[in-house]
């Protein structure tokens, strides 16, 4: 059975008056957020004693993708270099005085950083400790180097010297889609504020964007960023919201003609096939590595983080479900478990553990136990995902939405559902 490899669809309200300090770096920078466990939901993390996990689906990898971000950072560096004399003669506030000594950005573009390698190794160790009885002979990733590195370091942590006997496979990525870009109405006030503090430097909005990206990527490299101290909490929250809007419009709920959800249906259908063992070839464990876009599209296909009303560039809601800082930070990991119980639940059940926390499957929760543990039956999960099960790759619904984009999709015998 051939199914599409969709690894590379994209190149997953505090108003404090003081900027962030070095001992409290920002933790919410959209899909550029350094890895951390997700905030817990009000569900029981531990299953009843009579339940045992008997199948799962796991994704995870990590690495900055700095295509357009790198351009903004480079423009900022050029502006600072051109205005070096103005910076030296300016009386700067404490949080901008680092500019007098110059600012160097040395995070290698699109590569896994040292902290990224450590994160993936640690995730492999933690995964092995949590699921010691599950193994696989094959790990898969896209052919992008940072994703290959993610697979390798995770495998080192999980299998140690056994990695020599494992098959580490790569498959070709699809062509990048152009990410959506919203008009960033929050940028001009920040630029105006910084220019008042930096007389003669004359930053523009692209420079300000570069400084925000520099904050995120410095942290991704595992080091403190002086730029994070420059912004107020509400300014970073606006930046986070822009990241969410871009991802939502590129591969989530705001895509034209449900494009993101239709792509995500491939993941959902494969997940159901594996958990129901429809092909009678399902393994006990799949380890797959790729990009954040798959998790965003898959969650959209399942309506797991849908906001009502939808996210809008015209205003940031007080609360929202679509939150890439929590759902797809760098090194994000998604584990799908299938489990059975002697008495607590009837029939096979499934659970989603997203970045170390149980993510409630509220759309298919039917019982008090479902709501208590964030689970649902495989039967209920299949039933509520009719949007996905009604779509088949290459069928009429698929072609109506994705036909223009299907050309050049790499087709491969194993489904790689993963994200960075």
Residues noted as catalytic? 59, 292
Contact 61, 416 (CB under 8 A): no
Contact 216, 48 (CB under 8 A): no
What is the C-alpha to C-alpha distance for residues 412 and 410, in angstroms, rounded to an integer?
Answer: 6
CA torsion angle for 288, 290, 293, 295 (degrees, to 10)?
20
What is the C-alpha to C-alpha distance for residues 247 and 32, in angstroms, rounded to an integer?
Answer: 11
């Amino acid at each position: 059975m051939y199914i599409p490899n969709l690894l590379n669809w994209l190149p997953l309200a505090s108003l404090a008056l003081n900027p962030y300090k070095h001992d409290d770096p920002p933790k919410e920078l959209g899909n550029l957020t350094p890895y951390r466990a997700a905030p817990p939901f009000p569900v029981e993390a531990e299953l009843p004693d009579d339940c045992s996990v008997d199948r799962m689906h796991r994704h995870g990898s990590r690495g900055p993708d700095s295509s357009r971000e790198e351009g903004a950072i480079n423009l900022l560096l050029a502006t600072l270099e051109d205005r070096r004399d103005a910076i030296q003669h300016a009386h700067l506030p404490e949080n901008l005085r680092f500019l007098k000594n110059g600012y160097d950005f040395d995070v290698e573009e699109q590569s896994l950083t040292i902290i990224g390698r450590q994160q993936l190794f640690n995730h492999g160790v933690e995964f092995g400790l949590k699921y010691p009885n599950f193994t696989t002979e094959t790990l898969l990733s896209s052919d992008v180097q940072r994703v290959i590195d993610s697979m390798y370091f995770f495998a080192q942590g999980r299998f140690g010297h056994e990695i020599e006997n494992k098959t580490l496979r790569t498959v070709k990525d699809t062509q990048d889609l152009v990410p959506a870009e919203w008009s960033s109405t929050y940028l001009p006030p920040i630029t105006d504020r910084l220019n008042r503090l930096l007389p003669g430097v004359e930053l523009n909005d692209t420079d300000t964007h570069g400084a925000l990206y520099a904050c995120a990527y410095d942290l991704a490299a595992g080091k403190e960023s002086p730029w994070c101290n420059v912004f107020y909490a509400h300014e970073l929250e606006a930046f986070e919201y822009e990241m969410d809007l871009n991802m939502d419009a590129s591969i989530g709920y705001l895509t034209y003609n449900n494009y993101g959800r239709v792509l995500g249906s491939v993941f959902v259908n494969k997940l159901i096939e594996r958990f129901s063992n429809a092909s009678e070839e399902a393994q006990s464990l799949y380890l797959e590595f790729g990009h954040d876009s798959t998790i965003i599209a898959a969650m959209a296909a399942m309506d797991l983080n849908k906001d009502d009303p939808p996210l809008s560039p015209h205003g940031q809601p007080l609360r929202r479900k679509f939150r890439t800082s929590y759902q797809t930070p760098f090194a994000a990991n998604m584990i799908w478990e299938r489990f059975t119980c002697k008495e607590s639940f009837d029939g096979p059940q499934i659970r989603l553990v997203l970045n170390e926390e149980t993510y409630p499957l509220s759309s298919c929760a039917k019982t008090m136990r479902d709501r208590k543990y964030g689970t649902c039956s495989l039967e209920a999960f299949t039933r509520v995902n009719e949007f996905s099960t009604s779509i088949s790759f290459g069928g009429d619904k698929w072609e109506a939405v994705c036909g223009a984009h299907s050309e050049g999709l790499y087709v491969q015998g194993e489904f790689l559902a993963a994200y960075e």
